Amino acid sequence: MPTAAEDCVTVHSPINGVVTKLKPHAAIVTSTRGVSILVHLGIDTVSLHGKGFALLLEEGDVVATGDPLIHWDLTPVRDATLSPCVPIVIVSPPGLTATSHALRSQVSILDPIFSIEDPA
């Protein structure tokens, strides 16, 4: 979640993979192992119809961990009194296990927030 002092942030890819879905307020990146990560910018931000979001790439682009995905101006979110919380949803295929490492609300680029393990 962005800090209260931040007016603009750049959202980065959490994994190496392909951008399989890209909307102004959300991105899904899918790894070669079939793990999909949804990064959703704010709560109910779809209601902003793209205002405050600038896409930095396109669906189908290959990305590395830390590559910029979306530039986010938080002013429209705050003006609409929406939450800037950034939910991250991990969808792993059968046989893989996701474990969260993000124990605080603020993380920096390349901080590990989860790991995916193959127990076999």
Q: How far is CA 73 from CA 13, 48, 98, 103, in A?
A: 18, 12, 30, 25
Active-site residue, selected from the candidate residues 40, 49, 71, 101: 40
| Contact indicator for 13, 69 with CB cutoff of 8 Å | yes
- Rounded to an integer, what distance in angstroms lies between the CA atom of residue 75 and that of residue 114? 29
* 40 is annotated as an active-site residue: yes
- Rounded to an integer, what distance in angstroms lies between the CA atom of residue 94 and that of residue 35? 10
Contacts of 112 (CB under 8 A, 6+ apart): 101
So which residues are the catalytic ones? 40
